[in-house]
Structure 1
């Protein structure tokens, strides 16, 4: 057994876990921004088409996230309780389940792409490019499902650097490939959106192959694939779903509410849609600090729950929350100060640049609210309290966020500013209530791990 995979709970450090996750997330963001930046040199309409398609892809990826989230929580709790055999069984079941699910969803997306884009109300002149992108990227989404699941397993075993290195390699490959298909050097054909879709799918396939190889090298002895021969792994699947389905419900609610709000923006016009794409690309660079802290914090709390260190878990969440809030405010302010030259990288349209700058000013208020949600929700899930975030999420997103966005954007006529105000109200309302739930302490009795005598 690799010594590193046997680290005790005492050796866990938020910084040591978080910085590779941060780099990994940063590179994922840069991959998306690289696609947008390169396509912006090709056509603003291409950016809008890919932006809408990626909204749908993001929604589909959420469906894989429920297995990956359950995997992170269960593997971390089992490792914290020193029940490595059970951790290995969960890992095997999660890989097989998500890959099969990915194949099924890929087939559905390929054939349903035109219908999904029509539901989004996409303008006719954007439909062809958006459909091609969605069919190619969505059709091969199984590789992303595998990457997410195996990445969750490696991170739970504290191999966060391995996942980071793989992400670096794939991002470099993706940027190089995009350059060839968008700009057509050396007389090569310019493939535009179609080329970007193809390179995205191929890079994800390569990434899956590499990360699976790394998984086998790192913890081969702890992956009992023969365990599946004993019959249907109902116990492991049940535990994964008990965490994952509520988690997916919260993410699904968020992404469907974002799709609905995107529909409102489509009604405003292509410029508004393009502005949102550019602004959200920058916002994600702000959010990733909170995301990295939230994921690292989730692993530590999972270990602490498994080891029955409940008071330490409580303090860890609060400390991580303040760190995330501080980072989000500072980084959001810096991006606002340089908002016009940053957005100017993507477009020379003065209306888009001005509006995006205003939205980034509002982002200084928005991001601390999102930090509340990221850290507190991940903490609640790590402790086994997975249902409360989805119930509250649905209530707030659909009872407050979406109606307020419609009222301010369409009724009052505030446009994208109305959308951002609705985001702020929704995120802060949910964030404060998530912190209240954590302080209540009901999660202290919700661990999912088996007792030692139940190990197979």
Structure 2
């Protein structure tokens, strides 16, 4: 395959060329994720906390989808950096087919386990019906996100970061329009409420998947066909699983840890649950810039490592941090100052607002550590170092974050802000650990691309 449709990415690629579109994509995606919260807050306050609980589970499902999606980003970036264009169609097809199968299976599993999930999260009786409805509908359509995640990684690694921004903008409009129809518009008579919001979300995602597949073919990036899987590339699949599993394990243990913290918050009452949901909406905007920079640097790092330019990759990551860290801290501090007024967009409950103010102060430290983690962990994955972030995550999440959160939030009676103090401890200590690992160059020599023949995968062997 002549891959002249791929945009060249190397050490001279400006960070903002990739990070700019990704920033707006993440901003719009955050809007999509939080528009349900905003619109539901004027419909039923119990529905807000319920959807917040449900989205925690949806995030866990998304983590499992990212086993193959993450591996796709690493393999595609390094292969393109090594100019092994002859393998790309096989990689694209394998990633999409495998993730689609995983998506269909997991959608069924999460729907079947819905009642057990509600019991584990200790969801209140008022919120339980809403949470279950949302999981049945959005979780049932989860396979759409499985395909979308892989397609988006393929497009990004080929340099097409703007398509994610455009698609996300479109599905935002569709989702907002659908929410309005079901909650306040002509379809209000159906009294679907949360179910209507869930239907809008699934419909928007279906359109998004269609859009990225069409773009893939129109730009002639490659082809997707089962013929590229004959004979079946077992070694490539095993390689992708070996890349994706540690990453998924890291994300899964983090989400399980956050889910356990959420069960503590649920035991603190509905005001604490709603304060967390509203604050997470504001927090998600504060972390967008550092996330966009980290994702862009991951792509650049993958291309550089694939091309054998490890020293350039090493310096590039620290250059990114000098840009992203100060801006992230400034955004978190702005959130802390303005949260009293911003929270009034969602609620007039003064207790919720007071709890939110305490949360946002603790979040300044959370975002500082999170910026370090996103920057260095993403780059370590792109370089082929998958296991260390998993080990660091398990030890810090459960050994520091959970114990500190319980001690301060529950045992000492500080409440939901104490839970965030535990998260801050985890993020900051873990961030320093992974930064040191990168600084010491312990990831050198872990490239996915083999020195002899650029990771030549013999199909069917």
TM-score, normalised with respect to structure 1: 0.96
Alpha-carbon distance between aligned partners in 1 of 2:54 and 2:379, rounded to the nearest angstrom: 31
Matched, 1:32 2:26: no
Matched, 1:93 2:63: no
CA offset digits 1:184-225 (Å, max 9, x no partner): 348643421111111111111111111111112223545464
Alpha-carbon distance between aligned partners in 2 of 1:351 and 1:246, rounded to the nearest angstrom: 41
Contact 1:294 1:374 in 2 (8 A): yes
Of residues 175-184 and 261-270 in structure 1, the stretch that sits farther from structure 2 once superposed is 175-184
Q: Which secondary structure does the structure 2 equivalent of 1:184 belong to? A: coil
State the partner residue of 1:264.
264
Alpha-carbon distance between aligned partners in 2 of 1:242 and 1:419, rounded to the nearest angstrom: 33
Matched, 1:373 2:373: yes
CA offset digits 1:19-41 (Å, max 9, x no partner): 11111111111012211000000
State the partner residue of 1:333.
333
Contact 1:91 1:223 in 2 (8 A): yes
Matched, 1:454 2:456: yes
The structural deviation recorded for 1:337 is: 2.1
Correspondence list, 1:26-425, <5 A: 26-185=27-186, 188-221=189-222, 223=224, 225-231=226-232, 233-425=233-425
The structural deviation recorded for 1:4 is: 4.6
CA, structure 1 residues 230+322, in 2 after alignment: closer, same or farther (shift >3 Å)? same
Of residues 16-25 and 107-116 in structure 1, the stretch that sits farther from structure 2 once superposed is 107-116
CA offset digits 1:104-146 (Å, max 9, x no partner): 0111112211111111111122211111111111011000111
The structural deviation recorded for 1:322 is: 2.0
State the partner residue of 2:22.
21
Of residues 442-451 and 56-65 in structure 1, the stretch that sits farther from structure 2 once superposed is 442-451
Alpha-carbon distance between aligned partners in 2 of 1:84 and 1:164, rounded to the nearest angstrom: 26
CA offset digits 1:73-113 (Å, max 9, x no partner): 11000101111122332221111111110000111112211
Alpha-carbon distance between aligned partners in 2 of 1:385 and 1:455, rounded to the nearest angstrom: 20
Alpha-carbon distance between aligned partners in 2 of 1:297 and 1:220, rounded to the nearest angstrom: 22
CA, structure 1 residues 452+374, in 2 after alignment: closer, same or farther (shift >3 Å)? closer
The structural deviation recorded for 1:449 is: 1.7
Contact 2:50 2:131 in 1 (8 A): yes
Contact 2:11 2:313 in 1 (8 A): no
Alpha-carbon distance between aligned partners in 2 of 1:265 and 1:453, rounded to the nearest angstrom: 47
The structural deviation recorded for 1:162 is: 1.2
Alpha-carbon distance between aligned partners in 2 of 1:30 and 1:434, rounded to the nearest angstrom: 30
State the partner residue of 1:443.
443
Contact 2:325 2:371 in 1 (8 A): yes
CA, structure 1 residues 40+101, in 2 after alignment: closer, same or farther (shift >3 Å)? same
Alpha-carbon distance between aligned partners in 2 of 1:187 and 1:5, rounded to the nearest angstrom: 46
Contact 1:65 1:244 in 2 (8 A): yes
CA offset digits 1:366-414 (Å, max 9, x no partner): 2111000000000100000010000110011011111111111111101
Contact 2:24 2:165 in 1 (8 A): yes
Alpha-carbon distance between aligned partners in 2 of 1:341 and 1:220, rounded to the nearest angstrom: 46
Contact 2:111 2:135 in 1 (8 A): yes
Of residues 183-192 and 209-218 in structure 1, the stretch that sits farther from structure 2 once superposed is 183-192
CA, structure 1 residues 359+98, in 2 after alignment: closer, same or farther (shift >3 Å)? same
Alpha-carbon distance between aligned partners in 2 of 1:409 and 1:453, rounded to the nearest angstrom: 49
Root-mean-square deviation (CA), in Å?
1.6
CA, structure 1 residues 224+420, in 2 after alignment: closer, same or farther (shift >3 Å)? same
Which protein has the bigger helix share? 1
